[in-house]
Amino acid sequence: MERTYINEFHKQWIESTLESITSWQKQPISLEEKKKQQKMLNQQRAIREGKLKS
């Protein structure tokens, strides 16, 4: 796949992100870790939505 970059910083950022994604795919997280992450996301959402409703 041919990629088009805006500038050198953009190229480095995209390449770094793609490397991270590849690394994450090779190391799937445990169910416990998934639950922990989801709990954190839910808390963050609750805080955000609570602030928006005020």
Q: Give the position of tokens 């963050």.
A: 44
What is the spatial distance between Cα 14 and Cα 26, in angstroms, rounded to a whole number?
A: 19
**Is 52 a residue whose pLDDT tops 90?**
no
Confidence of residue 42 (pLDDT cuts 50, 70, 90): very high
What is the spatial distance between Cα 43 and Cα 8, in angstroms, rounded to a whole number?
A: 37
Q: What is the mean pLDDT of the chain?
A: 89
